[in-house]
Amino acid sequence: MAANPMNQFEVYRIGPEIKIGTFDISFTNASLFMIVSSFAILFIFNLGSKKKSVIPNKIQLLAELSYSFVAKMISDTAGSKARPYFAFIFSLFMFVLFCNMFGMIPYTFTVTSHIIVTFMLAAFIFIGVTIIGFIKHGFGYLKLFVPSGVPIVLLPLIVVIEIISYLSRPISLSVRLFANMMAGHTMMKVFGGFVVSLGIVGGWLPLSFSVALTGLEILVAFLQAYVFAILTCIYLNDALNLHH
């Protein structure tokens, strides 16, 4: 096993090389774990919603709890107008959560520790929210960049600042998830390496750190999925209820 802590983030090809033009679209370990987590979600929620008993069993309880958790999150942050987007936010939250959680199992690959994956998710949200804003408000959506009560002299500067802060949304959204996942997994690997190199004499301290870090990482995995979803709700709220 390689001692390099960054080795775990390596993407490698599984199966034959597939190319369309100059694009390499081969099946990689990242794609494998995305598919695994998607199927895990489908499996759990199919099983949970198949038998609609009044007294739920464990899997039904899990499905119902996560439904009401996301529903409450949406109604708290974006109000009742955001109800039609429930399915999108729910699948987004579940996908990020399951990718993060699958990464916690040893020898698996963490899909969300790659910035391109998180950035694609964030860019998709950003473009979608912008389109929704323009559909709902037309060109009035541009009022988002012009706060009320600003003197006319300062207006050009304020508009530039607002545009930059609007464009920074997908970057902050993606970097947050990516950096947390990558830093956490690197740290776990480094402490794991210390356990091996210090041996049976001094290895107990980093081992206890590793145990504590695993708990922390599970918390972070959940929390980052939650933050990702709640920020999507907040951006959606900005687009639906335009008040600035």
Cα–Cα distance between 84 and 126 in angstroms, integer?
17
Nearer to another protein, 167 or 196 (CB): 167
Cα–Cα distance between 61 and 49 in angstroms, integer?
9
Closest distance to another protein from the beta carbon of 160 (Å): 6
Closest distance to another protein from the beta carbon of 167 (Å): 5
Closest distance to another protein from the beta carbon of 193 (Å): 26
Nearer to another protein, 134 or 145 (CB): 145
200-205 long-range Cβ contacts below 8 angstroms, 24+ apart: none
DSSP state of 54: S
In this structure, what are the phi and psi dihedrals at residue 20, rounded to the nearest 5 degrees?
Answer: -115, 110
Closest distance to another protein from the beta carbon of 92 (Å): 16
The residue ranges that bind another protein (CB under 8 A) are 75-77, 157, 160-162, 164-165, 167-169, 171-172, 175-176, 179-180, 219, 223-224, 226-227, 230-231
Question: How far from 84 is each of 2, 71, 125, 177, CA to CA, in Å?
Answer: 48, 11, 15, 25
Nearer to another protein, 103 or 170 (CB): 170
Nearer to another protein, 30 or 177 (CB): 177
